[in-house]
């Protein structure tokens, strides 16, 4: 059987997962680089929420574990239930559909760009801000994206888009892969990222790490 099937909302999340899974030692898992598949749901975040159990049904007997990853904001339910409840409800649907205890749902609140904003200098480089003045975080404060003393902007996606536009750098899925393969994973303290990391360690933990 293939180790993992992942359903994600867009290419940004797909490239992020590819980048992360290439760093099995940093994640503390065994190498599954040749034993996973990632699919992007054509209906993006709402598709993952509404249709993941149906989409993944055909993989129950071909893959050991199933992961669903999407944004809270944009899912169509973010004004109705919280992210924790979404994870619990969708996991229950997957379990009833045949995945039993072999599935995990990770809802990123508010969105994937929240993972971008670690305190690593690599972030500045990837966003085209290396050596610029003012420095990226000071500029974010000046633009009212970041409060003094805070690590992450309150509108993370808009902050990424504005920062890239300011230095005339295109927004691309490749940027997410570059960040995922370069930033120290210990610097990302986001709840959803920690949930993903702990899940992968539970499923594919490397006893030698």
Q: Where are the domains of the chain?
A: 2-111+176-204, 114-173
Mean pLDDT of 28-54: 97
Is the model's pLDDT at 127 over the cut of 60?
A: yes
Is the model's pLDDT at 206 over the cut of 80?
A: no
CATH code, 2-111+176-204: 3.40.50
CA distances from 176 to 1, 14, 188, 209 (A): 29, 9, 14, 26
Is the model's pLDDT at 22 over the cut of 70?
A: yes
What pLDDT does 42 receive? 97
What pLDDT does 121 receive? 86
Is the model's pLDDT at 117 over the cut of 80?
A: yes
**Cβ(179)–Cβ(173) under 8 Å?**
no
pLDDT in tens, 47-97: 999 999 999 999 999 999 999 999 998 888 776 789 999 999 999 999 999
The SS3 of residue 8 is strand
d(CA 114, CA 123): 12
pLDDT in tens, 133-192: 999 999 999 999 998 888 889 899 999 999 999 999 999 999 999 999 999 898 888 899
Q: Is the full-model pTM beyond 0.85? A: yes
What pLDDT does 207 receive? 61
What pLDDT does 153 receive? 92
CA distances from 30 to 35, 83, 204, 205 (A): 11, 29, 6, 6
**Cβ(52)–Cβ(77) under 8 Å?**
no
What pLDDT does 208 receive? 56
The SS3 of residue 105 is strand
């Amino acid at each position: 059987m293939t180790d993992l099937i992942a359903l994600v909302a867009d290419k940004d999340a797909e490239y992020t997962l590819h980048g992360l899974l290439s760093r099995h030692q940093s994640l503390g898992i065994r190498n599954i680089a040749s034993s996973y598949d990632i699919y992007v749901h054509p209906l993006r975040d709402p598709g993952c929420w509404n249709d993941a159990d149906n989409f993944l049904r055909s993989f129950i007997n071909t893959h050991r574990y199933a992961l669903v990853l999407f944004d809270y904001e944009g899912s169509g339910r973010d004004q109705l239930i919280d992210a924790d409840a979404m994870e619990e409800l969708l996991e229950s649907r997957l379990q009833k559909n045949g995945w039993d205890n072999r599935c995990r749902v990770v809802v990123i609140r508010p969105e994937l760009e929240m993972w971008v904003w670690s305190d690593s200098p690599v972030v500045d480089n990837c966003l085209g801000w290396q050596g610029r003045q003012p420095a990226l975080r000071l500029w974010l404060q000046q633009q009212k994206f970041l409060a003094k003393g805070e690590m992450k902007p309150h509108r993370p996606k808009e902050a990424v888009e504005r920062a890239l536009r300011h230095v005339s750098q295109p927004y691309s899925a490749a940027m997410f892969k570059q960040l995922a393969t370069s930033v120290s994973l210990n610097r990302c303290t986001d709840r959803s990222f920690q949930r993903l990391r702990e899940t992968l360690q539970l499923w594919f933990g490397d006893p030698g790490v």
